[in-house]
Amino acid sequence: MNRIGIDLGGTNITAGIIDEEGVILKKKSLPTLNERESSLIINDISKLCRELFEEFNDIVSIGIGSPGEINDVDGIVIYNCNLGFENVDLREALSEFSVPVFVENDANCAAYGEHMFGAAREYEDSVTITLGTGVGSGVIKNGSIFKGSFYGGTEIGHMVINADGEYCNCGRIGCFEAYSSATAVIREGKKVSTDSEICRIVNGDFSKINAKIVFDAAEMGDKEAVCIIKAYYKNLAVGLANVINIFQPEIIVIGGGVSAQGEKLINPVKSIVDCMVYGGRNKTELVQAKLGNDAGLIGAALLK
Amino acid sequence: MNRIGIDLGGTNITAGIIDEEGVILKKKSLPTLNERESSLIINDISKLCRELFEEFNDIVSIGIGSPGEINDVDGIVIYNCNLGFENVDLREALSEFSVPVFVENDANCAAYGEHMFGAAREYEDSVTITLGTGVGSGVIKNGSIFKGSFYGGTEIGHMVINADGEYCNCGRIGCFEAYSSATAVIREGKKVSTDSEICRIVNGDFSKINAKIVFDAAEMGDKEAVCIIKAYYKNLAVGLANVINIFQPEIIVIGGGVSAQGEKLINPVKSIVDCMVYGGRNKTELVQAKLGNDAGLIGAALLK
């Protein structure tokens, strides 16, 4: 018994066959070309599904993870600004395959993937936070995706942690995302002096700074980079302690590009979080994600 | 069919008989004298229950709302620093009455009361925030109290909204409570000049300032008070917008002493919140609590 998972991203549409153990048996993708009409994007999703149906004859469902606001009950993308989708009925669009079609927010799919076959597999209550270009999040409660009343909510990246602080892409000031995304590390990295190791690594071309370079420079002992990373840890801990004070999950899973730092990131942040949790006795574990970029694909396939 | 509700506060133990329509038929209280041994406090809870059982012969359950960390499954107060309770088994302590005994956090009881018979009666998903000495909170999801994995969580008052801001009683910096409690209004009220209306109202005795005086002075047009209240509204809105971005409930109920300001508070705060919600289309209502100080008592009685 296999399932199709689809990760509908801004750059690529990735479709995969996932077996009952969460293993990806096959993966295919097409460029999203997100400026196109939604019907053309849907045609490409159908094309990928058709190819997978030709290759595998025991597909029982299709699950799609899409950014934006999703009506998961009816399988409709209510709104997605990147793709220009508005009330796009993906369940109807894929009805030709005669299997159940599920649609869910991509961050929720990633959290569900980590819950089912990743770092939160042994837990019923988890929160997955992805630290990438933005800060994504999904909450699993009693083994199911936790959602707001109107198909939204759990936008933890857009929880303000510093009301007098940095501007966020969403238009507010001080969101968790404005402090804990890879983008935030890059923004701070670009503020260093020409004496910094960061400047040396990029040969003075600050447009080449990425988050890893700032982490690397900090590890080499560069004082300015160390300062940036220390502030990053502290702000990340503030947001995670908020998550614990609010949800008190059994486990928080850290994914996204920044999580590649592994224990070097998790351990110091965990120490700060432990001091910040209300009541002083933190029982929530903090771990690195296991499924990497496949979390959303796997989670989407497992939707039901 | 009636139920006993008990509000175990730091100052008073209040017990009431609540009928099936959420009406309080009888209310009695005794001073908590919270420096006493827990066994003496429990004796007084039993005494109140005994008196109510003598007067009413159709009592089917006892529900207790207590501050602190509560194991609601077993009916145990795990920890309550105000009362000095540690692992106090209230279910066992009240077993003589031969009816089911339920124990829950007092803020959760207030939220449940507002859900069952108050401002959130028509809704399945609500968040109740009480603006008093502190900021209390309870979350109702699908008609039930939402709790963390280890009997904690939904400490929304201790969500940091300004990481570089004011100290909070909990030891962290910048908690929602440090900005949105009545205590925060008083703290700011004490900073005004001697030219302020606030100073005139208290005849120069700043120790007499309470939140209502600051709101009153603002309404009279006192510039310093207006400034305090405007900042208060903005910070309250930041916290509430966070709640919506995280939980997206159908409705947020505002209780506690500050909520006595009614529409004068709710309307301007709602306008700011609407501009702050992620995605820009706020669907969550914001209303004043209906049950006042009885919310906790009523909610406790209805526990099951």
Question: Which residue from B minimizes the CA distance to A170?
Answer: B278
| Best B246, B247, B275, B281 residue to mutate vs chain A (most A CBs within 10 Å) | B246
Task: Identify the band that residue B217 occupies on the pLDDT scale cut at 50, 70 and 90.
Answer: very high
Average pLDDT over residues B224-248: 98
Give the global pTM: 0.95
The distance of A207 to chain B (nearest Cα, Å) reads 29
Rounded Cα distance, B132 and B258, in Å: 6
Q: What is the pLDDT of residue A47?
A: 98
pLDDT tens-place string over residues A201-250? 999 999 999 999 999 999 999 999 999 999 999 999 999 999 999 999 99
Average pLDDT over residues B110-116: 98
Q: Is the pLDDT of residue A123 over 90?
A: yes
pLDDT tens-place string over residues B38-77? 999 999 999 999 999 999 989 999 999 999 889 999 999 9
The distance of B242 to chain A (nearest Cα, Å) reads 5
Task: Identify the band that residue B83 occupies on the pLDDT scale cut at 50, 70 and 90.
Answer: confident
Q: Are the C-beta atoms of B87 and B71 separated by less than 8 Å?
A: no
Closest CA to A97 of A40, A39, A57, A41: A57
Residues of A with CB under 8 A from a CB of B: 69, 79, 124-125, 141, 146-150, 152-156, 158-165, 170, 172, 174, 234-235, 238, 241-242, 244-250, 276, 278-279, 283-284
* % of chain B with per-residue pLDDT over 70: 100
| Best A159, A167, A230 residue to mutate vs chain B (most B CBs within 10 Å) | A159
Give the phi and the psi of residue B91 in degrees, each rounded to 5.
Answer: -65, -45
Question: Which among B146, B152, B278 is the nearest to A170, CB-wise?
Answer: B278
Rounded Cα distance, A183 and A132, in Å: 7
Closest CA to A242 of A209, A200, A205, A284: A284
Contact A238 B156 (CB under 8 A): no
Rounded to whole angstroms, what are the CA distances from B201 to B133, B182, B245?
A: 21, 18, 39
Q: What is the pLDDT of residue A83?
A: 85
Instruction: Please report where in the chains the tokens 């039930």 appear, as a residue.
Output: B144
Contact B160 A156 (CB under 8 A): no
Rounded Cα distance, B287 and B253, in Å: 5
State the complex-level ipTM.
0.95
Rounded to whole angstroms, what are the CA distances from B169 to A52, B132, B153?
A: 58, 14, 18
Rounded Cα distance, A7 and B92, in Å: 52
Contact A249 B148 (CB under 8 A): yes
Q: Is the pLDDT of residue B84 over 90?
A: no
Instruction: Find residue A86's DSSP bridge partners.
Output: A79
**Across the A/B interface, how many CB contacts are shorter than 8 Å?**
123
HSE-CB for A108 with a 13 A CA cutoff: 30
Contact A283 B149 (CB under 8 A): yes
Average pLDDT over residues B77-98: 92
| Best B135, B141, B150, B160 residue to mutate vs chain A (most A CBs within 10 Å) | B160
Pair of tokens at residue A144: 């199911």
What is the arrangement of strands in the sheet containing A12-18, beginning at the earlier edge strand? A24-31, A12-18, A2-8, A59-66, A101-105
C-alpha angle B201/B205/B206, rounded to 5°? 90
Task: Identify the band that residue A280 occupies on the pLDDT scale cut at 50, 70 and 90.
Answer: confident
